[in-house]
Amino acid sequence: MDERKLQVLRAVVEDYVSTQEPVGSKAIATQHELGVSAATVRNDMAWLEDSGYIQQPHTSAGRIPTDKGYRLFVDRLEKIQPLSSAERRAVNRYLSEAGDLDDVVNRTVRLLAQLTHQVAVVQYPSLNRSTVRHLELLRLGPYRLLLVVITDTGRVEQRHLEFREEIDEDYTLELRTLINEKLAGQPIVEAPEILSRLPNEARPELRGIATGLTRVLLDAFLDSSEERVAVAGAANLTRTVAPIRSVTPLLEALEEEMVLMRLIGPPGEQTNLTVRIGDENELDDFRHTTVVTTGYGPGAVVGHMGVVGPTRMDYPGTIAAVRAVARYVSDILERNR
């Protein structure tokens, strides 16, 4: 494909995203200053159609991009539209005012939905990619303890423990000291091996309680159901029913956390922004959408975030927003460490 045909494809994508109407050769020739006649543009559009980059939705209409056309458009983007200075200040101020991790995630997902006008999805920092900052053990009664796990990303997990034998305050303090000595500062992925030795390292009279505590900690660290996501902007889909064809299955899929985890959290710790268009999405309900995702975290990736919308979306603006918000959230988590 020569540069002029690429310019014509860009014009088709940009005009279709802007107007939501099929694009004709005359409009491109007069509005995009390509320096060629409408007949030449028409010939280029015929070549693009034969090559599968654009299509005619119905007779006597202009052309619209195909998934293949969007893919080339994204791959050959010359520049990403940055957020304005006012937008950057507003984003920084809004996210910096968050009080805790839940607030950070909730503000982030609402902000992404507002900036992109798409459905936003944000994964909470994964336990498997976090480090234990502190463990608190609180005595709630003679036979009950509250375990609080705090990670370096600000994530907090709580568990209640019930025992048959009475636990006094001295036992609670001793166990709290022991588990912090062994686990504080350790990656959670290494916790199971450390915990397997914990009961034997406690005093004989505490081993029964330490065994119960170890079991609860393992449940907290290994339970994949504790991976959580937040969603905002589902109402934005109602404005794009036609491009997505059927919005109901998509809305139902967005209610399933495991589906969302597969959607935005690809295997590994990929930090690069990823754009999956149409059939590039493995999940059937999302084969008529575009999913833009990226990793975030203080140094290493601890979670993913992104947006879901129609293939007819503002790609430069969406990519810029997802990248910028991920960077701000990473900076906040770094400062809070």
Write the CATH number for 308. 3.30.450.40
pLDDT in tens, 127-162: 778 889 999 999 999 889 999 999 888 888 888 988
Q: Is residue 257 part of a domain?
A: yes
pLDDT at 293 over 90: yes
Least confident of 114-118, 151-155, 317-321: 151-155
User: Which of these three, 191, 225, 259, is where a domain ends?
Assistant: 225
CA distance 238 to 159: 40
pLDDT band at 268 (very low <50, low <70, confident <90, very high): low
Determine which helix (DSSP H) or strand (DSSP E) holds 157, and give its type and residue range: strand 156-162
CA distance 4 to 208: 75
Q: Which domain holds residue 45?
A: 3-75
Mean pLDDT of 281-298: 89
pLDDT in tens, 219-236: 877 764 467 899 999 888
User: Which of these three, 225, 256, 286, is where a domain ends?
Assistant: 225
248 has which bridge partners? Answer: none
Give, as one character, the DSSP assignment of residue 124: P
CA distance 199 to 220: 17
Buried b (16+ CB within 10 A) or exposed e, 263-299: bbbeeeeeeebbbbbbeebeeebbbbbbbbbbbbbbe
Q: Is residue 80 part of a domain?
A: no
Does 107 lie in the same domain as 136? no
Mean pLDDT of 238-267: 71
Residue, of 205 and 61, whose pLDDT is higher:
205
Q: Is residue 241 part of a domain?
A: yes
Q: Average pLDDT of the chain?
A: 87
Does 189 lie in the same domain as 45? no
CA distance 137 to 148: 6
Does 186 lie in the same domain as 281? no
What pLDDT sits at residue 126?
83
Does 327 lie in the same domain as 191? no
Does 198 lie in the same domain as 113? no
Q: How do beta strands 144-151 and 132-141 pair?
A: antiparallel
Q: CATH no. for residue 54?
A: 1.10.10.10
- Structural domains of the chain, count: 3
pLDDT at 163 over 90: no
Q: Is residue 47 part of a domain?
A: yes
CA distance 244 to 269: 30
Is the separation of the CB atoms in 91 and 325 below 8 Å?
yes
Does 164 lie in the same domain as 52? no
Does 135 lie in the same domain as 192? yes
Tokens of 306: 């992104």
Q: CATH no. for residue 162?
A: 3.30.390.60
Does 320 lie in the same domain as 234? yes
pLDDT in tens, 180-207: 999 999 998 888 889 889 899 888 888 8
- Could you tell me the CA-to-CA distances from 317 to 74, 186, 187, 228, 246 in Å, in that order? 12, 39, 36, 27, 25
Q: Is residue 165 part of a domain?
A: yes
Does 290 lie in the same domain as 212? no
What pLDDT sits at residue 84?
84
Is the separation of the CB atoms in 120 and 232 below 8 Å?
yes
What pLDDT sits at residue 241?
47
Does 40 lie in the same domain as 121? no
Mean pLDDT of 246-252: 75
pLDDT at 243 over 70: no
Tokens of 242: 């036609």
Q: Is residue 232 part of a domain?
A: yes
User: Which of these three, 182, 201, 225, is where a domain ends?
Assistant: 225
Does 239 lie in the same domain as 105? yes
pLDDT in tens, 11-32: 999 999 999 899 999 999 999 8
Does 169 lie in the same domain as 150? yes
